A and B are shown apart, each in its own frame.
Chain A
């Protein structure tokens, strides 16, 4: 009887482990500081996580398809400086920097995908190479200096509000909704899971594996570009050294959210929770004025702890 109850309990923990961890964290922080659970602070957390959130959703596609993308942070910098270069006041209309920035990211994703599929090089290697290449390109493009003096219209993307809600949050929500539909309700979404789960079987059943992978990397590159534009706009400069190690935060969020690094398993909602967990840890520890040395230790413990909880589910 008791054993049955316990088993039932542990089932609940394993199925909803990550959601429970999220709620427990929220409760702990609400008790620890009165400044955590306020409407304004929650809005601030959402705005702070939107860049990492957009990146994490993009890399979710790639990881479910059985790949990895380490070039995200560099692509953020590259697309940020490129877009900023066309966003000075009284030069081009807003659509120009946005499109050029997005195309740059899509181009990087396309190259990653082509080398991985046609060149048959491991994604880890290709995107590792792209990580340094894109960083180098960002430095060349900007001559190692921040690209500043941007138009108010461009700065609105990262700093403005629409119906009292900061624009980055709206973009993040839009990305989440579209990605959720893409992965759950479309053929290409099912193919992505199939390719990541068992590539041979997917090929045997007639799925064009290379095209599916290419699609995942292009989505990932495009979303990295969107994140780069939002970040450049938020800090009102294109920074060639922005986004260093952002890929790690994004991948951490995906993994916390229960997506398997082996591919074939994962959800958009999981990634969103993963992103929020990282966000509330950053925010909460700042609110509590925890020393930055301890912050790093605590973050690491929480990442591993969250994944440990989730491992029970995978078994």
Chain B
């Protein structure tokens, strides 16, 4: 009985894998497999939605898998895509090194693979994303401007060792070399988590109190946590808070004049760009540019309206 069930399940999987849809003209509809970093992250969910919407528009079948921040799972997913014989693979890498075998495997199988949002050490056929250093630079430049190039900053890091954390920190520190009168008072991780950032900020307020002039948080969740801690301590009007991602909550806070600025990362631009590039590779069209960088944008109270609908 059990054998039969297993057989049934296996044949069903094989059937769906081999099953190729065709459009009204009888042409084969291209299939793109996407392995995403984590569908528990709001930005990645937005990226996935943008890819899905654009795939629908272009009449492409998109299979989305969630790698749940595990590079090993991601490599397995790409292996499954290869055995499913998809026409192209979009990789939203979990890790710089550990996700690289996925690139090698797809290339060996002759399936075009492109990275979206972040990089791997192995070179894919194409890349669409942003430079995380730039986000750190834009945020810190804005802090320097608002501080009048002088003051003490505390920095709330993302999850230590992840590409976004490392690069955003590098970008911020690059800018600080230009401003000798701005000092990093303390730096600590809150693991991208709002509650953790709030506790951290409360503790910093105890130890540094009025010495803190500005907060730079590697993402908006943590920025919002720091903001709430400062508001509860009635210090917000004395401290500048800038973070990255432009999530809905942060945009509202910028509009309300609570958060000083956030940095917009263009999920829609990256998602549609990745689908377009995948289609070009499927049709074997030459790419004018195999690395497309979508710039980050500073969002302040002056221009926030334009981002709230995106």
Spell out A's residues near B (CB within 8 Å): 33, 35, 38, 40-41, 44, 47-48, 51, 139, 143-146, 148-149, 159, 231, 234-237, 239-242, 282-283, 286-289, 291-293
Contact = CB atoms under 8 A, between A and B. Distances in A.
Contacts of B200: 286
B247 A146 contact: yes
Most central of B200, B202, B247 by chain A CB within 10 Å: B202
Given A139-B40, A293-B160, A242 B207 contact: no
A44 B202 contact: yes
Nearest to B229: A44
Interface string B26-59: 0000000000000111100100000000000000
Nearest to A49: B199
A231 B188 contact: no
Contacts of A235: 194-195, 198, 224-225, 228
Interface residues of B, number: 30
Nearest to A236: B228
Given A235-B195, A235-B228, A292-B160, A286 B40 contact: no
A41 B40 contact: no
28 contacts: A44-B203, A47-B202, A139-B39, A143-B45, A144-B42, A144-B45, A145-B45, A159-B228, A234-B195, A234-B198, A235-B194, A235-B198, A236-B228, A237-B194, A237-B224, A237-B249, A239-B194, A241-B41, A242-B194, A242-B195, A283-B199, A283-B203, A286-B199, A286-B204, A287-B207, A289-B186, A292-B157, A292-B160
Contacts of B63: none
B207 A289 contact: yes
Interface string B172-196: 0000000000000010110001110
Most central of B40, B157, B221, B249 by chain A CB within 10 Å: B40
Contacts of B41: 144, 241
A159 B232 CA distance: 8
Contacts of B224: 235-237
A240 B40 contact: yes
Contacts of A237: 194, 224, 249
Contact of A145 (B42, B189, B228): B42
Q: Which 4 A-B pairs have the closest CB atoms?
A: A286-B203, A144-B45, A287-B207, A235-B194
Q: Is the interface of B mostly helix, strand, loop or mixed?
A: helix
Interface of B: 39-42, 45, 157, 160, 186, 188-189, 193-195, 198-200, 202-204, 206-207, 221, 224-225, 228, 232, 247-249, 252
B222 to A, nearest CB: 11
Contacts of B202: 44, 47-48
B207 A286 contact: yes
B39 A146 contact: no
A44 B206 CA distance: 9
Contacts of B249: 146, 148, 237
Contacts of B45: 143-145
Nearest to A232: B195
Most central of B157, B194, B203, B232 by chain A CB within 10 Å: B203
A241 B40 contact: yes
A213 B78 CA distance: 45
B39 to A, nearest CB: 5
Contacts of B252: 148-149
Contacts of A283: 199, 203, 206
A304 B203 CA distance: 25
A144 B40 contact: yes
B28 to A, nearest CB: 31
